[in-house]
Amino acid sequence: MDKKKGSWESSGCEKGGISRLFANSAHMAKELFSVEEKNDRPRNFALSPLSIDLVLHMLAAGLKGNTLEQMLKFLESESRDEILSKSRNMMDVLDTLSSNEGENDNVLCMVNGIWVDEHCPLIESSQPDESEPSYMEQPNEPSYMDQILIKIFKPLEWWTKLTHGLTMHQKDSLKTLFPTGCLIKSQDFFLANALYFKGMWDSEHIFDEALTDSDERYFYTLDGEKVSASFMTSVQKYHYRSFDTFKVLKIPYQKRVHGKFSMYFFLPDSQYGLPNLLEELSGHPQEDYFDLEEVKFEELWIPKFDFSYNFDVAATLKKNGFPSMEDSKDFSKMVKIRRGVPNFSTNMFQKVVIKVDEKGTEAATVTDFDFPRSARSKLMNFVADHPFMFMIKEENSGLIFFMGSVLNPSL
């Protein structure tokens, strides 16, 4: 990545920063798992850490007062100026990565957006509407819409990029990203973003579709049941490493003109090891999780999966110190607040759609065995026949675009 334009080092991913971002992402995954394990039928879940981080920076850039102080602490930043600097660099990096010129089947697009109630419009210029008194204290400061939203986060530009080059089927699928009922009249303020990724497996790491379902295979769930599933397999070499209680496998996507993407699979050794794995990754992250060696497997089986997941981001982050954001005065850099509006309601949701098969991955966002094991052979095995975690990561920047867990590929 060009350090003069959009160096991710200045955006918080300096040495050691990747581990922190990975730990925060794993912590969110752990929170989502804790919700799902209480359900009678736990669902597969996924989230986009990058998408959430982007929206939080977009929000923090327009805050003030105590809410800003809480958000700075949450984002581990010293000042609003630091938030703006990180946001500029973040968007420069993403602008480069999302350039799809010269790409064939690989697509990366993103859009940012804000919706507000008509009674609390965005501040469109540096001069407030004097006919409607507000809480804005510095009328000559740069406006949130002109100087921050448009110049840094570029919502109109990103929307053009999001739809450019996509097929009608892909454009229609984007309509399903927003959770049902997320835009309702009772809400004063709504932040949203959409991220679309399509990557084909690298030609040296493809799966033979003829071998899928060549024989019946089962996936063993956390409740002790087994379900039939379609498993992909390959005789190619893959990057891999075994740790104390889990294994890591990397599958690269076709190289892009800008960016190098891979999918990682974190497989617990135990059928019931996913909770301990999420605890380990959120509490003791290590950068050598991604320091893998190329090996050839005796057995390699990964289930195909295709699911969607939506959740309340704010509720998920609350245990980690996410601010309540109720004081309307603290939003006055962003929107015009009418007198007599003491409190403000905010909502932040995310929905992720992901599909993994023999050809590659398409993802978007707007979160005991019946038989004994045989003796280990000298060759490595990677049989993902029980709950595991996955991640889509850009190698140069360290950005984590998607993360989630498969608890039952048949759902």
Within-domain flag for 361: no
Question: Does 261 lie in the same domain as 116?
Answer: no
> 165 and 225, same structural domain?
no
**Does 317 fall in a domain?**
yes
Query: How many domains are there within the chain?
Result: 2
- Same structural domain, 288 and 171: no
Establish if 226 belongs to a structural domain.
yes
Tell me, what's the pLDDT at 182?
47
Domain identity same for 167 and 277: no
Report the pLDDT value the prediction gives residue 391, as an integer from 0 to 100. 93
Residues 6+ apart with CB under 8 A from 212: 230, 231, 232, 233, 304, 358
Q: Please check whether residues 344 and 232 belong to one and the same domain.
A: no
Q: Are 90 and 15 in contact (CB under 8 A)?
A: no
DSSP string covering 196-250: EEEEEBPGGG---GGGTTSS--EEE-TTS-EEE--EEE--SEEEEEE-SSEEEEE
Do residues 102 and 164 share a domain?
yes
Give the count of alpha carbons within 13 A of 374, CB side only: 7
Write out the H or E segment, with its range, that includes residue 62. Answer: none
Distances (CA, A) of 148 to 57, 333, 381: 11, 11, 50
Contact 87, 170 (CB under 8 A): no
CATH of the domain at 293: 2.30.39.10
Burial of residue 193 (number of CB atoms within 10 Å: 0-12, 13-18, 19+): buried
Within-domain flag for 360: no
Q: How many CB atoms lie within 10 A of CB 118?
A: 6
Q: pLDDT tens digit string along 97-112?
A: 877 766 667 888 877 7
Contact criterion met (CB below 8 Å) for 91 and 154: yes
Q: Mark whether 56 and 124 lie in a shared domain.
A: yes
Does residue 293 share a domain with residue 218? Answer: yes
Residue 283 lies in a domain: yes
| Residue 8 domain-assigned (yes or no) | no
Cβ pair 80, 72 in contact under 8 A: yes
Q: What are phi and psi of 115, to 5 degrees?
A: -120, 135
Residues 141 and 269 in one domain: no
Q: What is the pLDDT of residue 3?
A: 39
Query: Do 133 and 227 belong together in one domain?
Result: no
pLDDT at 267: 94
Q: Taking a C-beta distance cutoff of 8 angstroms, is the pair 361, 392 a contact?
A: yes
Q: What is the pTM of this model?
A: 0.82
Same domain, residue pair 73 and 95: yes
- CATH number for position 39: 3.30.497.10
Q: Which range of residues forms the domain containing residue 143? A: 15-198+307-354
Give the residue ranges of the chain where pLDDT is below 50. Answer: 1-16, 127-140, 158, 168, 181-186, 367-378
Per DSSP, the three-state class of 233 is strand
CB atoms within 10 A of CB 41: 10
Distance CA 278, CA 36 (A): 13
Quote the pLDDT of residue 184.
42
- E strand or H helix at 51: helix 49-60
Residue 4 belongs to a domain: no
> What is the pLDDT, as a whole number, of residue 188?
55
Q: Is residue 3 part of a domain?
A: no
Task: Find the length of the chain.
Answer: 411
Looking at residue 373, the DSSP 8-state letter turns out to be P
Angle subtended by helix axes 80-97 and 49-60, to nearest 10: 140
Both 223 and 260 in one domain: the answer is: yes
